[in-house]
Amino acid sequence: MHERLSYVTGSDNASFWVLVVSLLALLLVWRLRTKALPLPPGPPRHFFVGNAPDLPRKFGHLGFDALCKKYGDIVYLDAFGIPLIILGTQQAALDLLERRSATYSDRRFSVMANLTGFSWFFAVNPYGPKWRKARRAFLETMNPNAIPQYRSVGERAVRRYLLRVLEEPDKYRSNALYMYNATIIAVAYGLDVHAKSENHKYVKIAEQTMKSFHEAFTLGGSHVERFPILRHFPSWFPLAGFKRKLPEWSADARRLRDEPWEAAMTALNEGRATSSMASILTGDANTEEEVTIAKGACASAYAGMYFSMFATFAMFMAAMVLFPETQQRAQAELDSVIGPDRLPDIRDKEQLPYLSALLVEVFRWQPVVPTGVSHLAMEEDEYRGYRIPRGAVIIPNPWAYSRDANLYPDPEEFRPERFLKDGKLELGDLDPSTSVFGYGRRICPGRHFAEEMVFTTIASLLHCFDISGPKDKDGHPVKFELKFMNVSPMLPEEFECNIRPRTEAAESLIRAVCSESELAEMI
């Protein structure tokens, strides 16, 4: 019996090692085969700079789309030795970034984030334990089941906004920016922000910090990210001038992360705090690392959400001016479902399929992050017979996907009905959120709250107001041409529009839904 057992054990060991050697051999063959595969097609590369001259300087989504139309669905570029892969179709983006998310969830290490202290913004962090902890904290407070506790905050912000539009319609844009600012600060920290409150200062802090963020990652970031050695050079050295601004950018990054958090902790200790991301996360934070992660998650909510919501709202306003028939159809639906005596809210969404489709069409028509957010290949890969090098930066192009006439006939037209079937919202494979909110493990974790907030805004605004295009001094319509600012998220240039209460009853409703205390807080 003992001899029999020894024989079996020896046989099993031999089989095990045969299996290991076979797997190693297959891995080696796969790697050699992958190395032998061609890179995706792309423009010819130049000495030292590679394809740097081919990179679009402005409105990158248009330049990347042109490259894909010339070279194919996936295009290879080399920028000073950094491999870039442009994904020209939604199918390619889904295949790699969604279905192979384990391989493509990384981010290129950001030298500028490290220099400025913006590394608390987990969206810029590489994939790893730190990122996973930060995302977990964010999802704990921003998952679909957590969002209902913030709805009263959003609804109050919308009511205040309606009153502002009623009193000063020409400032509809700046007041919308303030509304989304104040909403995220309230959700993240439980701080009620209005013009005459002490908490108003946090809006100023947040606005200044995001200005610094965009300066840091555009004015200086492009150079130091390509040539990290620049961080060691003096500020007078060519391309190192960004170092003169580092103290200012770093101070702003710390202020946004620390000051609203400290105010939220003071409110908690004094027993006057409302439910917020900070109040939830601080209960789970038992170590210094956990507190740091919680602070970063709250600040990331602001940095990642407020301007995207505002940009989406601005695109909606442009659509209402350019396509007034869609406004009229949405208002007819609101009148039949809501009636004249109350405002719509998110609980009405299922009964408002056309309005729901209208918001989806806003996402598709002008994606506010047209080139999406880049990913990083964590290992060598193969796709459609091409080699994807490890460390390649993968760039999707949601704007191009939204222009795919095979999916969206007449893509430049604003047609909410493309998402309706038999009077019901039906997205299926046409859902643009599969690209506009990101892919895989890097999908925007705040998308559910952002979508609810924007829906509540546009439903309430259309229920109470008519929106029309600019007019000349004699009251005649002026031709309106939509132009964009070269910023991210993409934003329409400011445009004039006429906003008027639909009826006297609508004006009375706006005044009635704001309490006396809220009226006193308005500018």
> Which comes out higher in pLDDT, residue 481 or 463?
463
Which residue reads 């600019």 in tokens?
470
Do residues 404 and 410 make contact, with C-beta atoms less than 8 angstroms apart? no
Give the closest residue to 298 by CA, choosing from 288, 310, 306: 306
Residue 82 has phi, psi (to 5 degrees) of -90, 115
What residues form the annotated binding site? 444
Query: What is the per-residue pLDDT across 300-340, written as a single tens digit (0 to 9) for each?
Result: 988 888 888 999 999 999 999 999 999 999 999 999 999 99
Query: What is the per-residue pLDDT across 166-192, written as a single tens digit (0 to 9) for each?
Result: 999 999 999 999 999 999 999 999 988
H helix runs in 146-270, sequence order: 151-167, 172-189, 200-215, 221-226, 246-269
Domains of the chain in sequence order: 40-521 (1.10.630.10)
Do residues 62 and 70 make contact, with C-beta atoms less than 8 angstroms apart? no
What residues form the annotated binding site for heme? 444
How confident is the model at residue 195, as a pLDDT? 62
> Which comes out higher in pLDDT, residue 91 or 372?
91
| HSE-CB for 506 with a 13 A CA cutoff | 20
What's the mean pLDDT in 59-73?
A: 94
Cα 9 to Cα 316: distance, rounded to the nearest angstrom: 70
Give the closest residue to 435 by CA, choosing from 373, 392, 388, 354: 373
Q: In the predicted model, what is the mean pLDDT of the chain?
A: 88
Residue 35 has pLDDT above 80, yes or no: no
Do residues 395 and 96 make contact, with C-beta atoms less than 8 angstroms apart? no
What's the mean pLDDT in 475-480?
A: 81
According to DSSP, the β-strands at 491-492 and 381-383 are: unpaired
How confident is the model at residue 516, as a pLDDT? 47
Please tell me the least confidently modeled range out of 24-38, 69-83, 285-299. 24-38
Q: Is residue 403 exposed (0-12), middle (13-18) or buried (19+ Cβ within 10 Å)?
A: middle
Residue 297 has phi, psi (to 5 degrees) of -65, -40
Give the closest residue to 363 by CA, choosing from 494, 451, 476, 284: 451
How confident is the model at residue 7, as a pLDDT? 41
Please tell me the least confidently modeled range out of 190-194, 284-288, 379-383. 284-288
Considering only CA atoms, give the Rg of the chain: 26
Residue 519 has pLDDT above 80, yes or no: no
pLDDT band at 392 (very low <50, low <70, confident <90, very high): very high
Cis peptide before 144 (omega within 30 of 0): no
How confident is the model at residue 48, as a pLDDT? 84
> Which comes out higher in pLDDT, residue 5 or 206?
206
pLDDT band at 473 (very low <50, low <70, confident <90, very high): confident
Query: What is the per-residue pLDDT across 260-283, written as a single tens digit (0 to 9) for each?
Result: 999 999 988 888 878 899 999 988
What's the mean pLDDT in 368-372?
A: 90
Tokens read off for 329: 């159809």
Residue 432 has phi, psi (to 5 degrees) of -70, -15
How confident is the model at residue 298, as a pLDDT? 93
Measured over the CA atoms of residue 43, residue 45, residue 46 and residue 52, the dihedral's sign is: positive
Cα 162 to Cα 507: distance, rounded to the nearest angstrom: 9
